[in-house]
Structure 1
Amino acid sequence: MVRSVVSCVAWVTKGAAKEEPEKVKLDKEQLEKLIKEAKEQLDDAEAEDQDVGAENGGAVGGSNVDDELAEYDLDHYDDEPDMDGGSKNLVDSLAGLTMYADEDDDPYITIKDEDEEDIEDFKIKPSDNLILVGKAEEECSNLEIFVYNEADDILYCHHDIMLSAFPLALEWLNFDPGEDKPGNFVAVGNMTPVIEIWDLDLVDSVEPAFTLGEYQMKKKKKKSKEKVDSHKDAVLDLSWNRHARNVLASASADHTVALWDLSQGKTVSVLKQHTDKVQTLEWHPFEAQSLLTGAFDKNVKVFDCRKADQAHMNWSFNGEIERVLWNHFSPYNFLASTDKGYVYYMDVRQQQAIFTLSAHSEAVTGLALSSQIPGCLVTTSADKNVKVWDIQNNKPECVLSKDFKMGALTCVHCCPDEAAVMATGGEKEGLRVFDIMAYTAVANHFGNRELVVVDMAVNSTSSQASAVMEEDGAVAVEDVTMETEAANTEQSDSQVVGGTKKKKKKKKKKS
């Protein structure tokens, strides 16, 4: 049985996607370019493996093995003879699998008329959300784009994209560096130092729209291709600045946080204050300069990115930081979770935690606040459980605890347009979209609470961004409302116990 793992999830707001996405069509020259680039990467990887083998005393491969296999000519095992007895060119082989500009010319298509239902499913309505899902199956990694419509009770996979490496983080971007108008892109962080940016309005893409950073070349006989502004290790999390729309922050296993100018495709600042892998980060929902970060060094920091080298706050916790999250209903407050199963609720103006939850028995891998229900918090964990909490008035209460039978859960995110709809991923069964109000206990508890729509709308054009990049690499903004004094937090582990309640599941139409 093939094991499928959903490692990360992100939402796209309603109306952001094109109603009819474009389909990519490659010509022979583009195919040759892609094949050449892929071959170079494979050659570099093979050279690195050989270097490792040499360092290990020839444990990888060897001349004797090569001599024994040579007689089988495995390098040409898959070659097919052409009409003249030669071998088929790889470009020609792949070209036969690509899409014809006119389907009437494609000999492999025997049914020319598309089904009306397929045509309708290909269109994306203004009332549809998209759900972006980072997924891995054995050696294959994919980005799946789902269409979700709460009113019509619809959920199906619209198309998918093959990724070059295991996905670790997804972040939607309503910014197009090539156009003076909103875009529909996703930034993908993976096990490499390179961030891939994909255009979600293009179907059948075989390469990103652009990338940030480059691979490090370790071959001694070649000059390193690594840019000064590249990460040196995996990219673990991403956060797009909704007020400085050309700014993307990335957290890396190389212990750094990079601030990228998407318009130029390069970093303008690198934050090096953490001493271990930076696991999580998030821009403040209302302040362009304030960045929240958490790392395996057990510290959470808030940076004033106008002068990040001098101005940041710090809290130390008893455990590696898994997730951080600003409270968009209360801008001075944030949450932080650890690998010990605790969730801390903090105020940036004080040292001690407002309260501490012993939320799960294992790492708390996901934190999500309802987009419109104040005080409604959802957590996921490696202990396989999802829990719904009420943290209103700083008096936390567990309302629901549920095991979806998905194995260890990896993440959870709330729909930006629906108050109670959550998406989570796990080690089994892939994506799960659920409405917390479908559970009686949650509906009874939050049903009468007034919904609050918080205005976090992004600016429509890059010229309206409230932050710009200064020459020294800092993010320049007008106001700072947060203190910049360092603070160390002392925690008291107060336990909150939740129970399992009855459920009422909503059916979804799947493809």
Structure 2
Amino acid sequence: MSVVPCLAWVKRGVAKRIPDKVELEKEELRRIIRETREEIDGLEIEGNDDIDSDTSDEEEEKKDKEEKAEGEEEPKPSSSGLSQEKQTSVPGKRKHEEDLVDDDDDDIVEKYGLEDYDDEEFNFHSGIGNLVYFADNKEDPYINDHDEPDSDDENVMIKPSDNLIAVARTIKDASLLEVYVYDEPDSNLFVHHDIILPSFPLAVEWLDYDPTEETGNYVALGSMNPTIDIWDLDLIDSLEPVFTLGTKQSKKKSKKKGSVLGHSDAVLDLAWNRQSRNVLASASADFTVGLWDLTEAKAVSSIRKHEEKVQCVKWHPAEQQTLLTGSFDSTVRLFDCRDAGYNHKTWSFAGSEIERVVWNHYNPYFFYASTDKGNVYYVDVRYDKPIYTISAHTAAVSGLVLSSSIEHMLVTSSSDQTVKVWDVKDNEPKHIVTKDLKLGEIMCALPCPDSPFVFAFGGQGNMKVWDIRQSAEVKSYFKTGEAFNICLEDHGGNKSNDEEDDDVLIKKTKGLKIKHPKKKGKKKMKDKKDKKKSKDKKKDSSL
């Protein structure tokens, strides 16, 4: 089964027109293979040690019971009056026949080399160390057809009008980072190249910071490991990240709260600071938030205010020191990272785990937060209580995004397998349309940075790019132009009219609840103003 837990957009014009291709020297490839094998062997040793330590007590107890049982048991006479030893003896004729069979078995074992079969170890860990045995295909005796390298650059060319989408995907036990090209005018979506990942991916964040050059095209990737890998999207056939933040810890060690050197558990979310481009924030299952200096490739601070796993982080769109975090402890916290230990504010949403947070980049005093109960809260950071609450979905709201340039458009996605579009103008949320994208449980959602009506979603088995102008309700309500087609995986999404008719559009808003805090006095003031206006009109008419 395939799963897409996270993805990231890349703006147009950022990627190299023709990406570089990695051509490793033989010695370099041998080094990578050797180090990967050593790492796998280390994991196996640790795993065996853990198993031994867990089962040693049980084995000792079992052994004691067996010894005790042997001491108590005595040979019992059989019904025929013979001892058990005599009763189990084999007649000479049968013994001779078995010796002949044993000789045949010995010949088979010797012929097919089965003597050491049981001693051979099977490696359950996947990785390049198990797939590659020769640094050069010319050294492999099983490869006779040595193809010349393909020099056709048109196959890898990226146009200035193309967006890239970095899609983290897991298929059974294998994890990949697939780099898609999204060509909006031609409604085309295809995989440009991919990267083998060492662990199950949980978070992807694009960044352009390069300490040696002016800008770059990178993604930071968080996974089940406590480390963060930085990959260059302008490199094809890369086997290693450009660099890694943090260090892996032994499985024998308990997963305690992270230290200043990094995390001790899975990295659940990442946020790149666009104001201070060398700073990256990370949320972890070790209850901490890490702040990383990309120039030095090390952690510079660790925020330890949450009491449960930190699920999400977002930098303020204008203030470089302000960071928003959400946690399984039912709180959203706002930190001034210049002194995060003292300068912070907390909002509590009792009984709910925070799934996503997002700043309103059109009015940065406000942010949205979603929960595992299906609610979306809109909060003014200057106040303690939300402005309003939307009962948006029947399950966890895993996607919470604003359009890149349509001010009042909010899009939510959920584990209930639906995507919803909202108009949130004047703090009066209005439901526009609900759509089932046939992705199963939706795990992530992000807006295209260059197209206000285009969004990407990842779910169970697939990823999909949806131009929401395909919805007649959206097109009519927002008075949009023509829509482009939905694109699926590695082929264009040119859909027939029949397929468009089959799209599930749930237009009813039954069960939708929007809660506003009580506004005292406003209605009375409005009534007074209306009465005053009517009196003024009467005076004017009498004159």
Matching residue of 2:491 = 510
The 5 Å alignment of 1:418-497 reads 418-428=451-461, 430-447=462-479
Query: Does residue 71 of structure 1 match 2:116?
Result: yes
The answer to whether the aligner puts 1:276 opposite 2:276 as a matched pair is no
Closer, same or farther in 2 for the Cα pair 1:110/1:24, shift >3 Å? closer
AA aligned opposite 1:195: I
Residue type at the aligned position of 1:233: D
Q: CA deviation at 1:153?
A: 2.1
* Whole-angstrom distance in 2 between the partners of 1:46 and 1:32: 21
1:304 aligned to 2:304?
A: no
The more displaced of 385-394 and 89-98 is 89-98
Q: Distance in 2 between matches of 1:182 and 1:296?
A: 35
Deviation string, structure 1 residues 408-439 (Cα, Å, up to 9, x no partner): 000100000111100000013x1100101111
Aligned mates of 1:59, 1:197 — CA distance in 2? 43
Residues 97, 185 of structure 1: alpha-carbon distance in 2 compared, 3 angstrom cutoff: farther
- Note closer, same or farther for the CA distance 1:134–1:218 as it changes in structure 2 (3 Å cut): closer
Q: Which protein shows a greater Rg?
A: 2
Structure 2 counterpart of 1:6 = 4
SS in 1 for 2:50: helix
Change (3 A) 1:76 1:345: closer
Between the aligned partners of 1:134 and 1:98, the Cα distance in structure 2 is 33
1:461-488 alpha-carbon deviations (Å, 9 max, x no partner)? xxxxxxxxxxxxxxxxxxxxxxxxxxxx
> Relative CO higher for 1 or 2, CA cutoff 8 Å, sep ≥ 6?
1
Give the match for residue 49 of structure 1. 47
Change (3 A) 1:92 1:405: closer
Counterpart residue number, 1:349 = 382
Structure 1 residues 76, 504: closer, same or farther in 2, change over 3 A?
closer
Question: 1:143 maps to which residue?
Answer: 177
Q: Quote the offset at 1:505 in angstroms.
A: 4.7
1:307–1:122 Cα change, 3 Å: same
Distance (Å, rounded) in 2 between the aligned partners of 1:261 and 1:77: 41
Aligned to 1:386: 419
Q: Which AA in structure 2 matches 1:439?
A: S
Question: Between Structure 1 and Structure 2, which shows a larger proportion of helix residues?
Answer: 2
- Pick closer, same or farther for the CA change 1:22–1:216 going to 2, 3 Å: same
**Which stretches in structure 1 are left out of the alignment for 5+ residues?**
63-68, 79-88, 100-105, 221-225, 450-502
Q: Which amino acid aligns with 1:354?
A: I
Q: 1:42 to 1:256 in 2, by over 3 A?
A: same
1:108 partner SS: coil
Q: What is the DSSP-based 3-state SS (H/G/I as helix, E as strand, rest coil) of the residue aligned with 1:441?
A: helix
RMSD: 2.9
Q: Say whether the 8 Å CA contact 1:189–1:196 is kept in structure 2.
A: yes
Matched, 1:165 2:205: no
Distance 2:440 2:487 in 1: 21
Q: Could you list the structure 1 runs, at least 4 aligned residues long, displaced by more than 4 angstroms after superposition.
A: 58-62, 89-92, 109-114, 503-509
What CA deviation, in whole Å up to 9, does each residue of 1:110-162 have, x standing for no partner? Answer: 57766x6xx42411111111001010011000000000121232211100000
Q: Provide Cα deviations, 1:141-199, integer angstroms capped at 9, x if missing partner.
A: 0000000121232211100000000000000011112x131011100000010100001
For residues 485 and 213 of structure 2, the distance between their equivalents in structure 1, rounded to whole angstroms, comes to 43
- Give the drift of 1:94: 2.7
Cα distance in 2 between the residues matched to 1:48 and 1:297: 32
Aligned pair partner of 2:408 in 356, 375, 389:
375
Q: Percent identity?
A: 49
The answer to whether 1:108 aligns with 2:138 is no
Q: Supply the AA of the counterpart residue of 2:164.
A: L
The aligned counterpart of 1:125 is 159
Structure 2 portions without partners, runs of 5+:
61-113, 124-128, 493-543
TM-score under structure 1 length normalisation: 0.78
